Chain A
Amino acid sequence: MTRILAIHSFRGGTGKSNLTANLATAIALKGKKVAIFDTDLASPGVHVLFGCSPQPGQCTLNDHLQGSTSIHQCVHDVTPEQVKQAHGRLWLVPAAMDSDRIARLLREGYEVEKLNDAFFELSDHLHLDYVLVDTHPGINEETLLSAAIADCLLMIMRPDSQDYLGTAVAIEVAERLDVPAIRMVVNKLPQHFDQQQVKDRVASSYEVPIGAVLPLSEDLLTLASGGLALLTFPTHPWSQGVHELADELMLRVLA
């Protein structure tokens, strides 16, 4: 049975899309078949991490949501060589980067349940083990749907007061939607922060288990979403943290 993992943050700049792409890669490196849906339709970006930009004539999620294009036509194989060697597969359903398409979707909207059906139709078609849903920051129809249907909601935040407050709102919404499992991920933790203090503060603030505390990394800043940190810096503490998070999710939370 396909497991759905929704990745969300209340505010932008938390590293959500970067984490989504790398977490999907970590899972696929375990020999799994994984698809990522970029449902951040207003500001898509996951495709950049895979060096995949839909060319004219190639379909995106927008074509499915606002047209009659089958979701099968909107999926792109982005499997890195290392994942192929591990017998895993990685697909991406990208969102359109064209400003006209984005404006049209924001103006006209779409039936959000069509997105729901797309997740399961693709899961059946590709026999997926996991679907990772990269959501738009904040509360909107896509994030609410993703939370409602997810087997696990991953809340990404930085150790920042605005993130603490906003994340509380998102967790309250998730609890009203009876999300089976929620895990917190604190990303971009500066080196001088006490990791245990941050863990304790997050745990006491939300009473939600901590999935990972990931360091702020100069190497990732230099990479600047130009690739997958997990493959470029495989022994970096950030990459190791993502691998541990993947193991926790696969072996315990989503098992």
Chain B
Amino acid sequence: MSALVALEPAGLRRLLKGGLRRGLSRDDLAALLQNEWQLDWDSQEARALLQALCDRSWFQVSPDGMVWKTRLS
């Protein structure tokens, strides 16, 4: 969680914070990417961003692909 506080830019903090609580639905994540990063869900940049977060194990998607959860421990 201390990693979350230290992250820049603010949009990245909001993205990972959104994956806490009950997690983010695919629609909510798509909306956040659009609002914070002006990225379309299907864009290469969006896929790269989400993949980078998954590679760090900071972000996980449920097996059915419908819920995104933050894991910063």
A177 surroundings in chain B (CB, below 8 A)? 4-5, 13, 17
Looking at the assembled complex, report how far the CB atom of A149 sits from the nearest CB atom of chain B, in whole angstroms.
5
B73 touches A144 (CB 8 A): no
Tell me, yes or no, whether B54 is within 8 Å of chain A by CB: no
Q: Per-residue CB proximity of B1-40 to A under 8 Å, as 1/0?
A: 1101100001001100100111000000000000000000
Looking at the assembled complex, report how far the CB atom of B69 sits from the nearest CB atom of chain A, in whole angstroms.
7
B1 surroundings in chain A (CB, below 8 A)? 112, 141, 144-145, 148
Q: Give 6 nearest A-B pairs by CB, closest first.
A: A144-B1, A111-B73, A141-B1, A149-B21, A145-B1, A149-B20
Tell me, yes or no, whether A173 is within 8 Å of chain B by CB: yes
Tell me, yes or no, whether B49 is within 8 Å of chain A by CB: no
Binding site for A on B (CB under 8 A): 1-2, 4-5, 10, 13-14, 17, 20-22, 69-73
A117 to B3 alpha-carbon distance, docked (Å): 19
Tell me, yes or no, whether A82 is within 8 Å of chain B by CB: no
B69 touches A113 (CB 8 A): yes
A219 surroundings in chain B (CB, below 8 A)? none
Looking at the assembled complex, report how far the CB atom of A189 sits from the nearest CB atom of chain B, in whole angstroms.
31
Looking at the assembled complex, report how far the CB atom of B71 sits from the nearest CB atom of chain A, in whole angstroms.
5
For this complex, into which size category does the number of interface residues on chain A fall?
10 to 19
A144 touches B2 (CB 8 A): yes
A112 to B23 alpha-carbon distance, docked (Å): 15
Chain A minimum-CB-distance residue to B70? A113
A110 surroundings in chain B (CB, below 8 A)? 73
With A113-B73, A176-B13, A177-B13 known as contacts, the answer to whether A148 contacts B20 (CB < 8 A) is yes
A176 touches B5 (CB 8 A): yes
Q: Per-residue CB proximity of A151-177 to B under 8 Å, as 1/0?
A: 000000000000000000000010011
Given contacts A144-B1, A148-B20, A177-B5, 15 further A-B contacts (CB under 8 A): A111-B71, A112-B73, A113-B20, A113-B70, A113-B71, A113-B72, A113-B73, A116-B20, A120-B22, A144-B2, A145-B1, A145-B20, A148-B1, A149-B20, A176-B13
